[in-house]
Amino acid sequence: MKTLVLIATICLAGPAFASSQIDADTVAKIEAYLASIECQMDPDDIEVEDDGFELDDVICKGGLQFDIILDKDLNEVARRAE
């Protein structure tokens, strides 16, 4: 039972750990990019990937929601509607 509780805690805390790996300057640059395309998101939903960043639950003008992939240079390389 303790193992199950530990696993659940780690899974729920995952998004909180993700954004803590990103420096404030990078978060600011990602938020500026999103603003330029009329989108926004919770910075806690930025996930570090091997080759860049995954932005989960990005809300754009008109209420459309996407997952966006950025490369290490913060260039958008993919977008998937949710």
- Each residue's pLDDT tens digit, 14-57: 444 444 589 999 999 999 999 999 999 999 999 999 999 999 99
Cβ-Cβ contacts under 8 Å for 21 (sequence gap 6 or more): 48
50-77: pLDDT as tens digits: 999 999 999 999 999 999 999 999 999 9
Q: Which two structure tokens, joined as six digits, stand for 28? A: 């600011």
Verdict on whether the full-model pTM lies above 0.75: no
